[in-house]
Structure formats: structure tokens, C-alpha cells
Structure 1
Amino acid sequence: MKYSFKTVLSILTLAGFAFLTIHSFDANYLGNSIKKIFQHPVLLAAVLMVYFLSFCLKAAAWKLYLNGKAHFSTCLIGILYSLLINHLLPIKVGDLVRAKIASTREPMLKDDEAFHSVVVLRLLDMFCLVGIAMIGLWALKVQFRFPLWLLMISSFISLLVLFTVHHYAPIFLNKHIQLFKKAFSGKKGLFIIACTFLSWLLEAGILYGTVMMLQGDLSFLASVFANSVTIAGQVLQITPGGIGNYESFLVFALTLFGFPVKEGYTIAVVTHALKFVVSYIAGAVVLLLYPISFNTMKEWIKVRRVREK
């Protein structure tokens, strides 16, 4: 039921993107926007660097969570591999490879600990994104209400999953709760949360910078809010890099700040293209630094997905 619900929402989102493309795509307008981007090489380089630094902060948070069992380089390589794979495949399986890279490179780290850490930090990502979105709704006085039925369904599914795991795998659940408590105890936990939160602020820089280069008007706080809404919508990804997903959610977020749909659509396409460029360049670098064969990655994904069923 969970996957069927997600699939329906994903298809509806893609249908919305198709509608936007039919009514808002303008090759000349898009081409001129891309020319404007390259007329600001220094700002473009700064925007891409800030975006890359956001992943460095995510790697720092992961290293802290693993409590000294992994090096920063391992965490960064794993995250960049995950980024590349999620921009190549229609399903988000990059985290499986990310976790396996960590446990393979670090002898002190077990498979289940690596996968546990990735799941927890992904949940922390989502909490940060939702928190940023809530703060944005309040601070920016955005006129929008979440559908009550969506909140009820989400709460029901979350409680059902938690009850199922507690009933059928109490030892597994208790073990990972203890790992969670240990990781987030004291100042270290605050640093993990701070690094994760700041990483999403930096990631919003690519949207803020793109709008600036296109001579648009969007505050940094509004950029952070729009980016958070957009990334949260990526849970519905069924295309490489969330093509269609990303654009649909970002256009929706930008219209809340008065952007015409055509302008919002162009900003979304350009911004997403820049993210693809970074993911492929960073992916090429980590492939050279720590090459992994396609067959090995396929085996890691296959074995883990079978275990999760």
C-alpha cells in the first residue's frame, strides 16, 4: 500500500511537470537564461563551491555519528557516490552504495552499523527540511495549509511501520535505538544536528545564486524555504535525479513568492542542471580516487534490497 501510494503521487507529479513543460517551456527564454548564468563566472564558481561544501558538512555529520569508526574521506566519497548514482538511476539506491563503501573501507565498521547510520541521518535530513519549511511558512508569512488528510495518512503509515518493527524485531529495534542514543548524546549530537542543518542552508545557495544571476528577486530565507520544500518532494523520485519532481516542487514553491510560472520553470530547470553538473563532476573524481566496478555496485544493491524485503 505504501509503495502504491508513493507511485501514484510520483506519477501525478510527473504529469504536473509535463503540463508545466507544455505551457511554460520557451527555448529562447531558457537559452538567454543560460547565457546570463555564464556572464557571471565568479558568482557561478562560488555558487557551485558552496553547493559542494554542503556535502562536506553532511560528511562531517556522518563521521561524527559513526563515533570515530570512519574517516572523513570515506564519508565524503560515500556521499558523492550516492549523489552520482541517484542522478543516474530512476530509483534512489545511492544510499545503499554509500553505506557499503563505508563498511568496506573501514574495518571497524560493520554493515548493519553503516546502514543504520545512513537511515538515521536520512531521517535527520528530512526532519531538518520539514523544520526549515515550517520556520519558513511562519517567518515569511506564506499563505499555505497542509491538507489534513495528508498529515493523517503520513502519521498512520509512520505509526504502522514503528509498531511492525517493534512487534517483529524488538531486538533489532532496541539495538539501533541504543546506537542512536549513543551518537546523539552530549555536544556531539548538537554538532551532528548543526552540521546537517547548515548543509541544507548551504545547498539553498545554488538556488539563491541562480536567481541572483538571472536578476530575479528572492531573499536567502525564501531560497532556503523553497529548496527545503523541493528536496522534501524528492522522496517521490522515479526518474534520474528526480527530473520532473524537482522542477514541479520548485515551481510551486517559487509561485508562493510571486514568481510567474514561466520564470519559475526556467529557474528550476537551470538550477537542476547545475546540480546535475556538480554530481557528474564530483562522481567522476571519486570514481578516479576510489574506483568501484558496476558489477560490484549492482551486487551490493541487489543483496541489500533482498535483505530489506
Structure 2
Amino acid sequence: MIFFFYLTFYYFDGRWILNGIVAIIQSPVNLMTMLTVYLLSFCLKALAWKWYLHGRTRFSTCLLGVLYSLFVNHLLPIKAGDLVRMKIMSTRDGISGEDAAHSVIVLRLIDMICLIVFSIVGFCVLGIDFQIPVLLIMIGCIIFVLSMVVVVQFFPAFLKRQLELCKRAFSGRNGRLIFIAVAFSWILECAVLYGTVIIYNGNLSILEAVFANSVTVSGQIFQVTPGGIANYESFLVFALGLFGFSIQEGYTIAIVTHAVKFFFSYAAGVMAIFIYPIPFKTLLSWSRVRGVREK
């Protein structure tokens, strides 16, 4: 947040940002291509969710859940969209609350695995100097081990059910398809960044765009602003700076691409509400759920 305020104070140029937005609007083919590919990335996420549940739910329900989640995450300062996503799955297709919550959490973990792998591969392939935060990894491993000890000791039946669900979901070809769909969805998601850089006549390869997008989204694990405002811009400026973009250029591209993503999120939310209306008060109540209970 502090870095974002620093960037805004020193590098905000309303005229350049406005020119970029106007250039995107005046390039309807590029804009529609970006938004279409971006939409396809969420379709793949929905398809992976359907496969994870072994086809027990409709693709339309999965897509509605993903789009509602995106919409809510760009409305509220915390990532409450996944709670809404779980409730839509439970109420629309009758999937148990535990299965819905389990599937969403596991798919989020797969998201992070793919983003981390893309980031590490990008660092290596693109020849970027980096250091592995050994202390941070050790702390993470210790927390994970302690958490597993607590779960095994006090919630063995719960752990057994979750492992059985995972085993069933990832068995055979199904597991490979889930990982491929999620990984490819993140590759497609960089279309907004790649297309914006092209409109700005910048030089960024698809591999570099995938890397920059992966690093940026990884930095939005925790957010305190709608849509991760500040997190997104700060991390993208850092990522683009690795490829020779000035701070001014990186900041402007970050603002414009985030604006396009906000537009898409709200448009997708309107479309989802039109197809499957949910009262706004109900959405807010679902976003405040502290646990998932069976009916």
C-alpha cells in the first residue's frame, strides 16, 4: 500500500493513462480479443471445478460461481468471493456444503501451485537473478507440519474425508485434466496485460507476460482493497521493471490493465445476476459466512 501511494504521488500521469484507455476503446478488435480470451480463462477454471466434482454439477453452475466470486472480490475489500462461490454450488445444484468448500479450497491451492511454478520457471528461463527465501520457506513448512499434527490429532475423521475426496478427484486422467485446465487458464489470463502492452507499442513476449501476470496475482493472496488495488499495481510495476519498462510505463500499464479487469468483473457480475439473480443482501450475508454447514 505504501509503495503504491509512493508510485501514485510521483508517477501518476492522468493524460497518459487517459490516452491509453482511449487507445484501447478505439481498438475494438484488440479489446474484444482481450476480453474474450480473459473470459475463456474463467471458463477453464469452471471446467476444472466441474471435473473436480466428477460431473456432479452443471458447467453453468460452476461458471456462475466463478463469475460471482470475481464480481464480489472486486466489490469488497476482502476475498469473500469464494464463500459466495461455495453457496451457489450448494444452493443451485445441491452439492453438500463440505464438498463445495473442499473443492474451492483445493482448486485455490492448485491455482497457487501453478502461479508459483510459472514464476519460478520464468525466473530461470528469463535469466532473472533471484534468491530463494529459505527462512520464509522453513517457517511455512513448520506451520504446515504443526497444522497437520493438530488436524491428525483432533480431527481424524474430517481429514480422512478430505483425503478421500482428493483421491477420488485426482484419480487417473481426471487429475491431469484438472491441472492442465487450471494451468492453461492462467496462461490465457495474461491476455489483458499482453494486449495492453501491444496497444502501448511496448515490447513484451507471451512468456514474459505469463511470468509478470503470475508474479502479480501471487501478490494478491491477501488483499485489503476491492480487487487488490495497490497490490496489483505494485507487483506489476516490479515485474515489468525486470523487462526494461520504466516505473512510469509500468505504473501506467498497471492502472490501465486493472481498469480493464474491473470493467470485465462488473460486466461479468451483471451477466451472472441476469442469468441467476441473487439479492444483494443475500450476497452480503453469504460473504460473511464464517463456516460451511450442511443443510
* TM-score range normalised by the length of the shorter chain: over 0.9
Which 10-residue stretch deviates more, 270-279 or 32-41?
Answer: 32-41
Secondary structure of the residue that 1:291 maps to in structure 2?
coil
Change (3 A) 1:300 1:236: closer
- C-alpha deviations, 1:59-94, integer Å up to 9, x for none? 000000011210000000000000000000000010
Residues 201, 224 of structure 1: 8 Å contact kept: yes
Letter in 2 for 1:177: L
Distance, in Å, in 1 between the alignment partners of 2:176 and 2:147 is: 27
- C-alpha deviations, 1:11-53, integer Å up to 9, x for none? xxx1111111111111122122222222321011101110011
Alignment of 1:53-132 (within 5 A): 53-107=40-94, 109-132=95-118
- Match for residue 4 of structure 1? none
- Match for residue 240 of structure 2? 254
Alignment of 1:158-197 (within 5 A): 158-197=144-183
Letter in 1 for 2:279: S
Q: Does structure 1 residue 273 correspond to structure 2 residue 230?
A: no
- Match for residue 30 of structure 2? 43
Letter in 2 for 1:20: L
Relative to the length of structure 1, the TM-score reads 0.92
Distance, in Å, in 1 between the alignment partners of 2:287 and 2:261 is: 24
Secondary structure of the residue that 2:176 maps to in structure 1?
helix
Secondary structure of the residue that 1:166 maps to in structure 2?
helix
How far is the alpha carbon of 1:306 from its aligned partner? Answer: 8.4
Unaligned 5+ segments in structure 1 are: 1-13
Letter in 2 for 1:245: N
Unaligned 5+ segments in structure 2 are: none
Distance, in Å, in 1 between the alignment partners of 2:281 and 2:151 is: 32
How far is the alpha carbon of 1:205 from its aligned partner? Answer: 1.2
Letter in 2 for 1:23: Y
Q: Tell me which stretches of 4 or more aligned residues in structure 1 moved more than 6 Å.
A: none
Count residues with an aligned counterpart.
293
- Match for residue 270 of structure 2? 284
Q: Does structure 1 residue 242 correspond to structure 2 residue 224?
A: no
Secondary structure of the residue that 1:217 maps to in structure 2?
coil
Letter in 2 for 1:141: G
- Match for residue 300 of structure 1? 286
Fraction of identical pairs, as percent? 53
- Match for residue 7 of structure 1? none
CA RMSD in angstroms, aligned pairs only: 1.4
- C-alpha deviations, 1:115-136, integer Å up to 9, x for none? 0000000000000000111111
- Match for residue 133 of structure 1? 119
Distance, in Å, in 1 between the alignment partners of 2:24 and 2:284 is: 37
Letter in 2 for 1:81: Y
How far is the alpha carbon of 1:151 from its aligned partner? Answer: 2.3
How far is the alpha carbon of 1:55 from its aligned partner? Answer: 0.2
Relative to the length of structure 2, the TM-score reads 0.96
Distance, in Å, in 1 between the alignment partners of 2:20 and 2:282 is: 41
| Larger relative helix fraction | 1
Alignment of 1:212-251 (within 5 A): 212-251=198-237
